[in-house]
């Protein structure tokens, strides 16, 4: 059990470090957090017109509309700009809680991966590495890419890089660590 715990701690830390490098050093996710010089007026306008935090689709029909009204609305909006707005009630600059939660989740998912690897008869370094890559591709495809199909995500390439590279690094680590003679 000690080997699995150490493997999960180091593997979770590796994913966490890669995510930090991806966001901070390489700024791969800049396309979804762009700057606009009009930010103050946009935020003032949004907070004066949207009264509760949440995600909003603009434009969107109100609930309980008929299919005929929906068709007319859809045709009228075709080719026009649209937006997804996520409005938060307060700006929280305390990153410590978010970083701790992120690290704990990273450790937990690596521990789950180690549990799956442990169910194999004789996992090789190559098998562990490929399984890790597959986990990255599965998680990316099931979440980010599926969302991107419907609502384009501007950092979809960065998310793919994070999934494959982060899990690839973990696969290399665990391929070494779990096959090491103690």
For the stretch 67-111, pLDDT in tens is 888 888 888 898 999 989 898 988 888 889 999 999 999 999 999
Average pLDDT, the chain: 92
Question: Between the CA of residue 30 and those of 114, 124, 170, 181, what are the distances in Å?
Answer: 32, 37, 25, 43
Helix (H, G, I), strand (E, B) or coil at 56: strand
With CA atoms as reference, report the closest residue to 120 among 131, 110, 111, 109: 131
Indicate the pLDDT class of residue 182, thresholds 50, 70 and 90: low
Q: Which of 8-22, 27-41, 164-178 has the lowest mean pLDDT?
A: 27-41
Residue 131 corresponds to which tokens in the numbers above?
Answer: 């399984």
Q: Mean pLDDT across the stretch 100-128?
A: 95
For the stretch 137-175, pLDDT in tens is 999 999 999 999 998 889 999 999 999 999 999 999 999
Sign of CA dihedral 137, 138, 144, 149: positive
Find the Cα–Cα–Cα–Cα dihedral 107, 111, 112, 115, rounded to 10°: 170
> What pTM was computed for the model?
0.84
Q: Tell me the percentage of the chain whose pLDDT exceeds 70.
A: 99
**Rounded distance, CA 145 to CA 175, Å?**
27
């Amino acid at each position: 059990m000690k080997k699995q715990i150490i493997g999960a701690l180091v593997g979770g830390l590796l994913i966490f470090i890669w995510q930090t490098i991806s966001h901070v050093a390489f700024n791969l996710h800049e396309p979804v957090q762009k700057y606009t010089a009009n930010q103050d007026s946009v935020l003032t306008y949004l907070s004066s017109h949207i009264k509760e935090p949440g995600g909003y689709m603009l434009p969107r029909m109100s609930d309980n509309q008929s299919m005929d009204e929906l068709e007319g609305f859809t045709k009228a909006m075709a080719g026009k700009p649209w937006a997804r707005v996520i409005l938060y009630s307060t700006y929280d600059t305390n990153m410590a809680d978010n970083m701790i939660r992120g690290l704990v989740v990273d450790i937990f998912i690596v521990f789950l991966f180690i549990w799956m690897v442990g169910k194999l008869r004789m996992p090789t370094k190559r098998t562990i590495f490929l399984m890790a890559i597959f986990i990255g591709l599965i998680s990316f495809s099931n979440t980010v890419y599926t969302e991107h199909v419907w609502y384009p995500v501007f950092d979809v390439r960065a998310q793919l890089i994070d999934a494959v590279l982060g899990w690839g690094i973990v696969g290399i680590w665990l391929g070494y660590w779990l096959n090491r003679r103690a």
